[in-house]
Chains A and B, each alone.
Chain A
Amino acid sequence: DTAVSQTPKYLVTQMGNDKSIKCEQNLGHDTMYWYKQDSKKFLKIMFSYNNKELIINETVPNRFSPKSPDKAHLNLHINSLELGDSAVYFCASSHRGTGGGGYTFGSGTRLTVV
């Protein structure tokens, strides 16, 4: 199936831990994104990579570090997790430029920090 797949789907961890979320797309898109959705369902972009190059880095704590080993993968590593990091994190992909069409989203990773 062509899709954006992210793992894990659920992640429960203690404050102070370090965790990673992985994302892969097999759609041949050249741009990948990480979005954070808070408890009020507000979606905010965190990062964007185009062909492995970081092109968007919103005001995100530097505890969050994205890594793109190739244009089909974009992982998110979070250091020293805090309670406020609890949210649903979505990976998405598209062709560069929103004029190219819509985004394809993964099913999300629900992160709970306790």
Chain B
Amino acid sequence: SQQGEEDPQALSIQEGENATMNCSYKTSINNLQWYRQNSGRGLVHLILIRSNEREKHSGRLRVTLDTSKKSSSLLITASRAADTASYFCATGSLTNQGGKLIFGQGTELSVKP
């Protein structure tokens, strides 16, 4: 079953601008993760935020989590053409067997030079 809904589905910005992607989910979670997928490649883990955390940073990435609203956002600052990719949120729950992740539909980010 699909857990995450991502918004927007597609985002086009100029290099140097910030990109914000949002993710909403339905059930209780243990953590939420963001992944990047370049065209024709596998997914790459970017950042994990636990349910008791509200914000996390990693380089140019900033992730927020609001468990009361069941939503998360990923901010990429000072975007580069190389950031062009699909970005997925994925939720993990302690109730899920084996810790399976349930992925959202993804946001396609295009950064124009």
* C-alpha gap A30/B67 in the complex (Å): 29
A contacts, CB < 8 Å to B: 4, 31, 33, 35, 40-45, 48, 50, 55-56, 90, 92, 94, 96-108
B43–A94 CB distance below 8 A: no
Q: How many residues of B contact A (CB 8 A)?
A: 29
Q: What residues on B are CB-neighbors of A100 within 8 Å?
A: 99
Q: What residues on A are CB-neighbors of B40 within 8 Å?
A: 108
**Distance from A98 Cβ to chain B, minimum over Cβ atoms (Å):** 3
Q: What residues on B are CB-neighbors of A104 within 8 Å?
A: 45
B105–A42 CB distance below 8 A: yes
A56–B92 CB distance below 8 A: no
B33 within 8 A of partner (CB) = yes
Residue from B2, B93, B101, B105 in contact with A103 in the complex, judged by beta carbons closer than 8 Å: B101
Residues 72-113 of B contacting A (Cβ, < 8 Å): 86, 88, 92-94, 96-103, 105-106
B50–A90 CB distance below 8 A: no
Q: What residues on A are CB-neighbors of B44 within 8 Å?
A: 105
A-B contact pairs, 10 of them (CB 8 A): A41-B105, A90-B42, A94-B99, A97-B98, A98-B31, A101-B45, A102-B35, A102-B48, A103-B35, A103-B43
